[in-house]
Structure 1
Amino acid sequence: MAGRETWTTEEFGTSHEGWVGVLLADGSVSGPVFFDSGSATAGQPMTQWSVYDGRSQHIPRAAALRAVCSCAWAGPEHHLDWALIGGEGLEEGGDEQASACERDWDGHTAQVEAGAIPLPESVLVLLERLEEEVERLAKTSPVAAVRAARRMEVAAGRAGYWAARGTRTDLTTTQAAAALGLDERAAVRLLARFGRWSPYS
């Protein structure tokens, strides 16, 4: 949805895209806000939590904030005290609650990572050391580091080919997605890219 700040991790991407969700006083989830023609954002839906300040009859006032993830997970509610917010404005007055939402989502992605298939410590150490070595190389010879990164891509493609095909044979799409910490669409695309088949096959 356009018009809101979101969070992602490098590994899980949009499979676990998070944002601050808004709840209204009756407990319902807020819909998008459309600004009038005098606004620079006229015609575009806005769902950024800080716009829900009840400034007009067309803009509802947030009662609570909570972290939301594209995987359908939602965090606990963090209630807003409008008596304390007063004229400060929601962006400033609700900053503490919004920050709490981001921490909640960080905890959620940590759980996703913990639930994904674990990697052997030896592999994790090698990957971390390889990344450090390439970063060190970039300080003295950036172009050599680019070549090294390219070789890493080639190696990943070779290693991933049979791994992807074996995964396709051994696991259902749902099982593979859970093991990878991805949604099913992202898992299909990833396996298809490594296995070199069409994601639509």
Structure 2
Amino acid sequence: MGERETWTTDEFGDSHEGAVGVLLPDGTVPEPAYLILTEHGAGRVTTQWTVYDGSAGLRPRAHALRAVCSCGWTGAARALDWDRFGEQTLGEAAVDLATECEEEWDGHAAEVERSAVALPEEINELLRRLADGIETLGKDSPLAALRAARMLEVTAERTAYWPAHDARRDLSLEETSAALGLNEDGARRLLGRFGRWSPYS
């Protein structure tokens, strides 16, 4: 997969990495494009939607845009009206459609969050208060805020050790990943980090 602009959330990271995807007239996804950046032919591979403009016949012309996610989810196809674009580049003419794709992916990410295992409200409130408190502390004492954040890391590593072992013993990786809103590799890495074993052992 080539380079492209993507969107993630802090909690789910690359398990749900969104982007604007491209569809060709036959409904297929185009191959990554090679952009030549120097006179010697050096360049980079990309799947950024804005390059699929059919320019010079080197790249196919996009028929539609849609939101895509690394988890396999896809949004609705949004057809491109090339007759109305005039002299505008694809990036200029279809920016509103790309924004709609991002908004649709935002809805997908929100659904992932809703489907993850629920936390007790008192824990949610405590986490909010901690975040607000550390942010406020950082305005007066950056070093104290850093120490507080580090203590949160230490507490997380200490308190999640046995839960990680229990989850590994009692639940399948598929069940764990679904409950945490992560893909299986992300869940494996999280369990390994908190349980202090190699995620690939």
Normalising by the residue count of structure 1, what TM-score does the alignment of the two structures yield? 0.95
TM-superposition CA deviations, 1:7-31 (whole Å, max 9, x none)? 1111000000111100112211111
Cα distance, 1:85 vs structure 2: 1.0
Q: Measure the CA separation in 2 of the matches of 1:120 and 1:35.
A: 50
TM-superposition CA deviations, 1:82-134 (whole Å, max 9, x none)? 11112111001010110011011111111111111011111000000001001
Q: 1:165 to 1:132 in 2, by over 3 A?
A: same
Q: 1:9 to 1:41 in 2, by over 3 A?
A: farther
Q: Measure the CA separation in 2 of the matches of 1:139 and 1:56.
A: 54
Alignment partner, residue 163 of structure 2: 163
Q: Which runs of 5+ in 1 are unaligned?
A: none
Tell me if structure 1 keeps the 8 A contact 2:18–2:69.
yes
What is the correspondence of 1:98-109 to structure 2 with a 5 Å cutoff? 98-109=98-109
The residue type equivalent to 1:176 in the other structure is T
| Structure 2 residue 48 is matched with structure 1 residue 35 | no
Q: 1:137 to 1:39 in 2, by over 3 A?
A: farther
TM-superposition CA deviations, 1:51-76 (whole Å, max 9, x none)? 11111111111110001111111110
Alignment partner, residue 74 of structure 1: 74
Q: Measure the CA separation in 2 of the matches of 1:117 and 1:130.
A: 21
Cα distance, 1:172 vs structure 2: 0.6
Cα distance, 1:41 vs structure 2: 8.3
Q: Which runs of 5+ in 2 are unaligned?
A: none
Cα distance, 1:36 vs structure 2: 3.9
**Match of 1:44, SS?**
strand
Q: 1:144 to 1:77 in 2, by over 3 A?
A: same
Between the two proteins, the alignment pairs up a number of residues equal to 201
Q: 1:41 to 1:131 in 2, by over 3 A?
A: farther
Cα distance, 1:40 vs structure 2: 9.3
Tell me if structure 2 keeps the 8 A contact 1:8–1:18.
yes
Alignment partner, residue 56 of structure 1: 56
TM-superposition CA deviations, 1:145-200 (whole Å, max 9, x none)? 11111111111111111111111122111100000000001101101110111212
**Match of 2:154, SS?**
helix
Q: 1:40 to 1:166 in 2, by over 3 A?
A: farther
Cα distance, 1:48 vs structure 2: 0.6
**Match of 2:60, SS?**
strand
Cα distance, 1:32 vs structure 2: 1.0
Tell me if structure 2 keeps the 8 A contact 1:34–1:42.
no
Tell me if structure 2 keeps the 8 A contact 1:22–1:30.
yes
**Match of 2:86, SS?**
helix
The residue type equivalent to 1:161 in the other structure is Y
Alignment partner, residue 198 of structure 1: 198
Tell me if structure 1 keeps the 8 A contact 2:23–2:30.
yes
Alignment partner, residue 6 of structure 1: 6
Identity of aligned residues (%): 54
The residue type equivalent to 2:159 in the other structure is A
Cα distance, 1:35 vs structure 2: 2.8
Alignment partner, residue 153 of structure 1: 153
Alignment partner, residue 93 of structure 1: 93
Tell me if structure 1 keeps the 8 A contact 2:2–2:32.
no
Q: Measure the CA separation in 2 of the matches of 1:16 and 1:96.
A: 22
